[in-house]
Chains A and B, each alone.
Chain A
Amino acid sequence: MAMRRVPFFLTYVFLWIPILVVVGMSFNAGDSPFNWGGFSFRWYGELAADEEIRQGLVNTLIVATGSTALSTVLGTLLAVGLARHTRSKLLDAVATLPVILPDIVLAIGLLAFYALVQLTLGLYSVLLAHAVFGTAAVAAVVRTRLATTDPSLEEASRDLGANGFTTFWRITLPSLAPGVVAGALLAFTLSVDEFVIAFFTAGPQSPTLPIVIYSMVRFGVTPEINALATVLLAVTFTAILAAQRLTRLAGSR
């Protein structure tokens, strides 16, 4: 019995060792990111005092919040539209494609597009770029939720005297709510740690956190980076757990 579980445990270790090392080393008191010098919160303190990182974090939060808001609205409308106005499987698949498309493809495409319309790059260009795959992500999640809702709910609402708007606001949206929230959380987490697209579309004065980290690492890894990675990990983890919990609640209905 025990022997059979070995591959399972090994895979788990393989998955988590790098992450555990980063978390462990973030509490390192020494200057080297590789040699243990005793336990300390020192690097978390330095992290909090780092102006560049704080600016990057603020930028990232602006981008993530803005793009999540935009993609939640657009993605929900897209999902409802797909369910109502088309039977095409192709259109359905293409709508959610930007989530699984290689980032670099989307990045190059967006950069070319911005150049074409002569948009100067700034924080908003990243926000719009993130809203592209965010919308697709929200649409994908809401679409799944829609597939499990009874289509006669909307008809029942109309039958009981509600017009189209009231039906959407009071019946369609609330019955999709778990999917919408889960989609929004997904869009948020995707945006927070997104690097490639942000790197291509951010203006030089407004780097997001992943870009800041990248430029720091180029001059050598400090334990400060480990502390930052641990914080990011905690944030992402919370969001993903919340999203999973909500989708599961949605599924059990």
Chain B
Amino acid sequence: MTLLSINGVRRKFGDVTALDGVSLDIAEGEFFALLGPSGCGKTTLLRILAGFETLDEGTVTLAGDDLTKVPAHRRPINLMFQSYALFPHLSVAANIAYGLQREGLPKGVIKQRVDEVLERVGLAHAAKRRPQQLSGGQRQRVALARAIVKRPRLLLLDEPLSALDRKVRAEMQLWLKQLQHEVGITFVVVTHDQEEAMSMADRIAVLNHGAVEQIADPVTLYGSPATHFVADFIGANNFFSGTAVDDGLSTEVFGFLPARGGVTGPALLAVRPEQVSLTGDLLTGRVLDVSFYGGLSRVAVLVAGHDTPVLVHQHGAPRVAAGDAVKLGWAAEDAVVVRA
């Protein structure tokens, strides 16, 4: 069931178009990600949903009700800020109780719900502390607790993991996903980090220059990017340019290269490094460099007539050395042709 429906939303700041006709639907209970580089309009869209920004054109509805006319403090939507925005003069418990007090709930109910959520985020022992006395990961848990205790229809998370160090990040990533599953609230994460989006979200909308490039689940997004931008932005890719033909791409230098098609005219063939084998018969080249990453070896192959080295990933230890002559190949279903 569709919970949030965004339709043809446009927003301009002076001469800059932040959102250029964005449309997308988010289902009830979904973990959705808005992914894109900085300046792609994802933050503007988030602020429109939260009620801190207005739109020039288009509609936003939540469960069928027009959201644009509801002021921020009356929306059944909560936002977890990138800076967490914890109130420094209030204790952890008081921070979490703040939103419930605004609803005019009785004291007993507030205390019970605060205790409950503190327990859930594993911070029951820190209820009386001030935000400044907590670690980054703990602050994030408080910010999250403060938002979910309101039981919103929709929870917005602005770059939720960006302020955390690497180790805590991985932990929180897993935890966020579990938590979303447990509380059953619809999550919308805004992020520029494709790994963050891929690992947590059920579906991802990739934004670029204020427009949606593709909306799909992570596997589809990775395996069948719809545009050059998506193919380039998500994961590593090797690109070859030419003209789209049936079952592949026709190039001037390498002749026919096989791939899944669907487009016509000038096009790019994109193939992932892990799909390229060193035992094929499509291209010939010489190994430029080999780097070993433990479970993975990255091989860069110089192919005459191609201006960037072709990247190849091999499982385990490298089986080639720099200077070796190699032949590259891939299966047609592992490569995709996108519009140039």
Residues of A within 8 A of B (CB): 150, 152-153, 155-163, 166, 170-171, 174-175, 177, 253
CA distance A157 to B146 in the complex (A): 11
Q: Does B291 contact A (CB under 8 A)?
A: no
Q: Taking CB as reference atom, which chain B residue is nearest A159?
A: B79
Contact partner, B87, options A158, A159, A166, A171, Cβ 8 Å: A171
Contact of B132 among A157, A166, A170, A253 (CB under 8 A): A253
Closest chain A CB from B233 CB (angstroms): 27
Chain A residue numbers with a CB within 8 Å of B78 are: 159-160
- A160 contacts B132, CB within 8 Å? no
Bound CA–CA A177/B52 (angstroms): 26
Residue from the list A155, A161, A162, A175 in contact with B89, Cβ < 8 A:
A175
Stretch in B95-103, B279-287, B318-326 touching the partner: B95-103
Besides A159-B77, A161-B99, 14 more A-B contacts (Cβ < 8 Å) are A152-B83, A152-B85, A155-B50, A155-B52, A155-B72, A156-B79, A159-B72, A160-B78, A160-B150, A161-B73, A166-B102, A171-B87, A175-B87, A253-B88
Residue of A nearest to B82 (CB): A152
Q: Which positions 53-97 of chain B face chain A at CB distance < 8 Å?
A: 72-74, 77-79, 81-83, 85-89
Smallest beta-carbon distance B242→chain A, Å: 48
List 27 A-B residue pairs with CB atoms under 8 Å apart, sorted by A's residue number: A152-B82, A152-B83, A155-B50, A155-B72, A155-B79, A155-B81, A155-B85, A156-B85, A156-B86, A157-B98, A158-B72, A158-B73, A159-B51, A159-B73, A159-B77, A159-B78, A159-B79, A160-B78, A160-B98, A161-B74, A161-B99, A161-B103, A162-B102, A163-B73, A174-B87, A175-B87, A253-B88
Closest 5 CB pairs of A and B: A160-B99, A161-B102, A156-B85, A152-B85, A174-B89
Q: Determine the chain B residues whose CB is within 8 A of the CB of A157 once the complex forms.
A: 87, 98
Cβ of A18 to closest chain B Cβ, rounded Å: 42
For chain B, residues 283 to 313, give those with C-beta under 8 angstroms from any C-beta of chain A: none
Contact B85 A177 (CB under 8 A): no
CA distance A253 to B86 in the complex (A): 13
Q: Cβ of A153: which chain B residues have Cβ within 8 Å of it?
A: 85, 87
Q: B150 and A161: CB pair below 8 A?
A: yes
Complex Cα distance A141/B215, Å? 49
Contact A150 B89 (CB under 8 A): no
Q: Which residue of B lies closest to A176 (CB)?
A: B89
* Residues of B88-130 whose CB lies within 8 A of A: 88-89, 98-99, 102-103
Tell me, in angstroms, the Cα distance from A210 to B259 when the chains sit together: 92
- Measured between beta carbons, the chain A residues less than 8 angstroms from B73 are 158-163
Interchain nearest-CB distance for B26 vs A (Å): 18
A15 → B minimal CB distance (Å): 37
Chain A residue numbers with a CB within 8 Å of B87 are 153, 156-157, 171, 174-175
Residue with the highest number of chain B CB atoms closer than 10 Å, among A156, A160, A170: A160
- Which residues of the partner chain B approach A159 to less than 8 Å between Cβ atoms? 50-51, 72-73, 77-79
**Smallest CB separation, A160 vs chain B (Å):** 3
Q: Please give me the residue from chain B that is nearest to A166 by CB atom.
A: B102
Residue of B whose beta carbon sits closest to that of A163: B73
Q: Which residues of A contact B74 (CB under 8 A)?
A: 161
Select which of A161, A166, A170, A175 is within 8 A of B88 by beta carbon.
A175
CA separation between A32 and B102, bound complex, in Å? 68
Q: What residues on A are CB-neighbors of B150 within 8 Å?
A: 160-161
Task: Report the nearest B residue to A155, measured CB to CB.
Answer: B52
* A residues less than 8 Å from B82 (CB atoms): 152
Residues from chain B with a CB closer than 8 A to the CB of A175 are 87-89
Could you say which of B50, B81, B89, B146 has the most chain A C-beta atoms within 10 Å of its C-beta? B89
Taking the nearest CB of chain A, how far is it from the CB of B288, in angstroms? 47
What separation, in Å, do the CA atoms of A253 and B130 have in the docked complex?
Answer: 11
List the A side residues contacting B72 at CB < 8 Å. Answer: 155, 158-159
Smallest distance from the beta carbon of A180 to chain B beta carbons, Å?
Answer: 13
List of B residues within 8 angstroms of A152 by Cβ: 81-83, 85
Kindly name the residue among B52, B98, B146 whose own CB sees the greatest number of chain A CB atoms within 10 A.
Answer: B98
